Amino acid sequence: MAEFRTLASNTRPAVEVNQVLRNTYILLAFTVAFACVTGTVAAALNVPFFGGMAGFIVYLVGFFGLSYLVNKTANSVWGLFWTFMFTGFIGFVAGPIVSYYAAVQPGVVAQALGVTAATFFGLSLYTITTKKDFSFLRSFLVVGFFVVIGVIICSFFFDLSAFAAAISGMMVLIACALMLYQTSAIVRGGETNYIIATNSLFVSIYLLFMNLLSLFGIMGGDD
């Protein structure tokens, strides 16, 4: 998961804050586009789901390993390289899932994409214009992270399909909270590294989109 940093009051010059914000959104746009490309490649190659314990381990190693490398090298040019490796990996893993929904429930993908974009832009605009401090969400995000890991582990031993909608709903809340937290960190001068900020916001977009996809898929399952 992205690193959670304590937000500081905005004592940095506005020009520096705006530069971090601009660089973050530029890099975020490129990484989202790159993830779409790798996801399309995975779908075209008919790459199977990363299911089962083996797939879960591969996913965890890739997710946390690459995320660690991003944070470790965030102050060098290698940070950009590992950022694209991380987001490309996420796109590659998500590709087969999105492809499945596109085949069986085409409208669901468009709905999830549209709501994700609207939510991200809406929350970002609100945080940037109000400059509200969302540092209080840090504890919620930390607890939410461990809850998510616990739910994933439990899913290998128990049938949690009856709680699928509730779990996805919780993940949507966590994704929105992460967006508010990270954007607030940039705007208030607490986050000065645009690579780390991009990594965090990308994760929030990914979580939001995939769980909205699941929610809309469940609601449209009888169609």
CA-based end-to-end distance of the chain:
35
Contact 87, 62 (CB under 8 A): no
Res 160: pLDDT:
67
For the stretch 19-42, pLDDT in tens is 999 999 999 999 999 999 999 999
CA nearest to 218, candidates 152, 176, 171, 175:
171
Place of tokens 């709905």: 111
CA nearest to 189, candidates 10, 52, 50, 1:
10
Question: Residue 181 — φ and ψ, nearest 5°?
Answer: -65, -50
Residue spans of the domains in the chain: they are 14-219
Res 10: pLDDT:
52
Res 159: pLDDT:
67
Per-residue pLDDT tens digits of the chain, which is 223 residues long: 444 454 444 556 788 888 999 999 999 999 999 999 999 999 888 887 766 667 778 888 888 899 999 999 999 999 999 999 999 999 999 998 898 888 888 789 999 999 999 999 999 999 999 999 998 998 888 888 888 777 777 766 676 677 778 888 888 999 999 999 999 999 988 888 999 999 999 999 999 999 999 888 887 654 4
Place of tokens 């914000």: 21
- Any idea what DSSP says for residue 6? -
Res 6: pLDDT:
46
- 166: which residues sit within 8 A by CB, 6+ positions away? none
Q: Using CA atoms, how far apart are residues 167 and 147, in angstroms rounded to an integer?
A: 10
For the stretch 122-148, pLDDT in tens is 999 999 999 999 989 988 888 888 887
Res 223: pLDDT:
45
CA nearest to 81, candidates 164, 199, 203, 174:
199
